[in-house]
Amino acid sequence: MVFPTVEVFDVSLPLSEQLAIWPGDPKLSRTLASSIARGDIANVSHLDLGAHTGTHVDAPFHFVDSMSGIDQLPLDALIGPCLVVEANPPGTELRPQDLPETEHRRILFKTRNSARWASSPSEFDRDFVGVGLELAVRLVQRQVLLVGVDYLSVEPFDAPRPHPVHVTLLEARIVVVEGLDLSRVEPGEYELFCLPLKLVGSDGAPARTVLVRRSTP
């Protein structure tokens, strides 16, 4: 019997107080509410962080006040086959031509952003690559279930208000995953497992996210 080779890639950002955050978002902090060193029976951490810290998922409620929170996202959109697409446009917007013809309904975009997580994870970079509005419309037309990007927002930093890319995707109930680190992942097909914290009514939540690739020797 021949067993397939299984490779697991953790594409989540490590959460620490040094990790870059979106300007104005709450900084992450972790303190010990109880400590063995102080004579307590166990170490118990107290966490203070924003819902969009590190690798996270946006709920429709994030930009559409009448829509659902993170706890209502369908698990079958967050788990399943996906395609990692490598694209490096000349500017900061991913364009329709950066989306290949594919039947995959979960798309993760690997751009030059991913290299920044290795070189300067604590510094917020306003020149990151994000999804342009034309591509967002194309993703809706393709009936994509999920789109993931390798920086802290799905649309570029200088996007006009009221953030049309977010609104376009979330109104179409496309799951948005932000803050992926795809630097160690080659383009291609994988199984995606992305599970945000089940925070009732929240506009988003951090998510441990992994990609799995199986191959037969």
Q: Which residue has the tokens 């996210």?
A: 209
**Gap between the Cα atoms of 127 and 125, Å rounded:** 5
163 flagged as catalytic = no
47 secondary structure, DSSP code: E
Burial (Cβ within 10 Å: 0-12, 13-18, ≥19) of residue 133: middle
Residue 101 corresponds to which amino acid?
E
Q: Which residue in 62, 104, 163, 166 is the catalytic one?
A: 62
Tokens coding 138: 């194309």
What's the CA dihedral at 156, 198, 50, 13 to 10 degrees? -60
Instruction: Give strand ranges (E) for the chain.
Output: 5-10, 29-34, 44-48, 56-58, 79-86, 93-94, 106-110, 130-131, 146-148, 175-178, 188-196, 204-215
| Residues with a known catalytic role | 62
